[in-house]
Amino acid sequence: MPSVKNATALDVGKIPSVPHVLLKLLEACHKIDVSFDELTDIIQKDAAISAKVISVANSPSYRQWNNIDNLNRLLVVLGLDTIKSIAITSAVHQFFSQFNVDMEKSMGSLWRGSLTCAYTAKSLATLTGYPSADEAYMAGLLHNIGQLVFLSNYPDEYLKLLEDTNKDVELDSRERELWGATNSEIGALLVNQWNVGAFLSDAILYQHEPAESILDSSRLVKLLNFAHKLSQHSIEPDKLYAEADLLYGLSQSIVEDVLKQVEEQVAAAAKSFGIKLDADNATILAEGEKNRLAMAKKVREFALLDGVRQHLDQFTCPDKLLEAVLQNLGLLFGLNSSICFLYNQEEECLQGAMGNCANIEQLAEFSLPLKPARSLVADSLFQREVISTFDSGAEQPSSVADGQLCRLLNSEGLICVPLVCGLQNVGVMVSGINGVQLSKLQGQREMLACFAGVIASNISRYQKLSADQERMINDERIRQNAETRKLVHEMNNPLGVIRNYLEVLSIKLTDDETIQNQLSTLKDEIDRVGNIALRMKDAAVPEELSQSTVDINELINDLMDIMRISHFSTHGIQESLNLDQRIPPLVTDRNRLKQVLTNLIKNAVEALPNGGMISITTRDQVNINGTQFIELKIEDDGPGIPENILDKIFTPIESTKGPNNSGLGLTIVKNLITDLDGSISCGNSRKGGAEFSIMLPRKIEA
């Protein structure tokens, strides 16, 4: 097996996807109401995209969720922005990769092989009682990931190799001769680096072994081995049926039924992506250039919408915001004559608010009730759909109000785009159009809907919710709280088991004082997790401060005992403590303060991936405007905080940890410090690292 160094020399970030699947993912990410179920269904049809998702999930922030048998949960944890970034990055690379027709066909063949193996492994898992059919499916999907790595790094050489070899043994021999490793070894090394915790790496490594060699191996190894042979027809039929009997006691008729079912599943999947399968059952008739251009268009639309979002976010005045909205309508869609109607929840009607048409003063005359079949504008918001006067085929507007708007906008007809933010009705954008303009807009309807979502989100900041909307949102909050209480109840069971085991260990290890102290710390942390879970049961009710006397230096020392084991030693981080021993016990909330320190220290650790120094300092009696405070300072010698986010560091923004982190942790820290009647400031030290300073009131017991 090759070394990790040799494997990482291959560029796994450029593993190609089937353009049809990648385009479908981009289109799904474009939709306002896309569900994670829909995204899961698309992503798990392509080995390259699935591999990139699992690879991203291998970062420390997500590693606890990195479980290949529940891709849907993994996508929820990563979030739509991260999935969108993966799709866009993949599309940009694929657009600039000049795959020829032969390459497209080989890609199609590998895609078909991975999907066939995935469905086969899942069917075998169900037949043989393997506990996770989804894990087996993912193993089958990723079984040829090493071939995709070779294809992306050595396109011409590997394409010729695939054409010249028919059997696994021949292919392995030639791969080892040319590059010092087989595709199975490269795939296994790649997967092993993801730390998914299953036997997936071994299953990929041993997929070409004869059945006799894997009789005593793990179930996933046997499953993938036989699924690969069954799906690739890599050995003679008689030998295949013999291996089916040897490994699982399956008869020839059952194996044939599995193959037939899998063939139907692959055909259905291909049809859903608009993929046509060759008559010889080997390759895909690719539409490479067409799909590449379509992907480029989607990426361009994403970029435009992100630009619009950033542009609109800067406005704090509603009128200026609406003016910018109308301007962008003209620039992006050529809709230069438009009116923005806003929803008045008290009157339950739509009122003209802003327009770039003649006789703008007439807008105040329009007040359209939000009732069906009264006007095209109201119908658009009522139905929550983009509609136009041309959709019904009628030559004239259906109502007098619609006709007046057409004349006001000096147009043949109207196109109405609803503005909706979650459950909140925001308004409608109405533009004057003719038949030619409508034809051009047909391909932009999805982008127009996404544009409307961005606008609605911005305008909603200035609107009050109606009583019905507040009731609906409150009902949803009650439902979520009920679900939270259910989860908290489930959490208490494993927490109780952990507490019991800690007690048993404590009894068995009574002679070791160091271990007793560590076990005591663990029990405290388990109790704290339990208390946090209990507070989640009613998140809508603010938690009251739990005031007690707290020795801040002792709290820091206890926390550092945990951090040394769980974070510092694994990252090669050194510490420096300079604690003012004069500080008396303070009257404050121990749990809140501990959460603050935990978040800030973990942030410092994540800023030092290659080791470094974290310094913690406390200082007594800091006088600010005649009031006594205690100062806590946490510093690191990492890269520091970028200047462009220093003024927004305590708001939920993209953090310096990477594009997949929301930066919410520092917002929580600020809120906790506010609860403690303290203050927090930050900056970059003279050494260049980040520096956080906390001031806590010097409240001591009377």
pLDDT greater than 50 at residue 4: no
- What are the φ/ψ torsions at residue 505 (nearest 5 degrees)? -60, -40
pTM across the whole model: 0.52
C-alpha separations of 239 from 233, 315, 639, 647 in Å: 11, 71, 60, 69
Average pLDDT over residues 336-365: 82
pLDDT tier for residue 221 given thresholds of 50, 70 and 90? very high
What is the structure's pLDDT at 292?
A: 60
pLDDT in tens, 19-28: 788 778 877 8
Average pLDDT over residues 564-577: 80
pLDDT greater than 90 at residue 632: yes
For residue 293, what are the contacts with CB-CB under 8 A and spacing of at least 6? none
Q: Return d(Cα 596, Cα 248) in angstroms, integer.
A: 55
What is the structure's pLDDT at 653?
A: 47
Task: Give the side-chain half-sphere CA count within 13 A for 685.
Answer: 15
pLDDT in tens, 497-514: 576 666 667 766 777 777
C-alpha separations of 582 from 585, 603, 622, 634 in Å: 10, 28, 12, 19
pLDDT tier for residue 452 given thresholds of 50, 70 and 90? confident
Q: Which residues pair with 695 in a beta bridge?
A: 631, 679
Average pLDDT over residues 478-495: 62
Using a pLDDT cut of 70, give the percent of the chain over it.
73
Q: Residue 569 has which token pair? A: 């030693």
Question: Which range has the worst mean pLDDT, 122-126, 188-192, 568-572, 647-651?
Answer: 647-651
pLDDT greater than 50 at residue 518: yes
Question: Which range has the worst mean pLDDT, 30-39, 205-214, 259-268?
Answer: 30-39
What is the structure's pLDDT at 94?
A: 64
Using a pLDDT cut of 90, give the percent of the chain over it.
8
Are 7-272 and 547-697 the same fold in CATH?
no
Among residues 465, 463, 462, 457, the alpha carbon closest in space to that of 312 is found at: 457
pLDDT tier for residue 59 given thresholds of 50, 70 and 90? low
Q: Are 187 and 208 in contact (CB under 8 A)?
A: no
What is the structure's pLDDT at 226?
A: 92
For the chain, the structural domain boundaries read 7-272, 315-464, 469-536, 547-697
C-alpha gyration radius of the chain? 31
What is the structure's pLDDT at 538?
A: 45
pLDDT tier for residue 661 given thresholds of 50, 70 and 90? very low
C-alpha separations of 161 from 174, 214, 564 in Å: 8, 28, 51
pLDDT greater than 70 at residue 340: yes
What is the structure's pLDDT at 390?
A: 82
Question: Which range has the worst mean pLDDT, 32-36, 66-70, 208-212, 411-415?
Answer: 66-70
Q: Return d(Cα 61, Cα 268) in angstroms, integer.
A: 36
CATH architecture of 547-697: 2-Layer Sandwich (3.30)
Q: Are 388 and 415 in contact (CB under 8 A)?
A: yes
Secondary-structure class of domain 7-272 per CATH: mainly alpha
Average pLDDT over residues 544-561: 81
What is the structure's pLDDT at 211?
A: 87
What is the structure's pLDDT at 51?
A: 85
What is the structure's pLDDT at 9?
A: 53
Q: Return d(Cα 409, Cα 309) in angstroms, integer.
A: 27
What is the structure's pLDDT at 335?
A: 86
What is the structure's pLDDT at 121?
A: 92
pLDDT greater than 90 at residue 603: no
CB atoms within 10 A of CB 435: 10
What is the structure's pLDDT at 365?
A: 79
Average pLDDT over residues 585-609: 85
Q: Which CATH superfamily is domain 315-464 in?
A: GAF domain (3.30.450.40)
When the pLDDT of each residue in the chain is averaged and rounded to a whole number, the result is: 77
What is the structure's pLDDT at 223?
A: 92
Residue with the bigger pLDDT between 696 and 543: it is: 696
Residue with the bigger pLDDT between 41 and 318: it is: 41
What is the structure's pLDDT at 66?
A: 53
Residue with the bigger pLDDT between 99 and 237: it is: 237
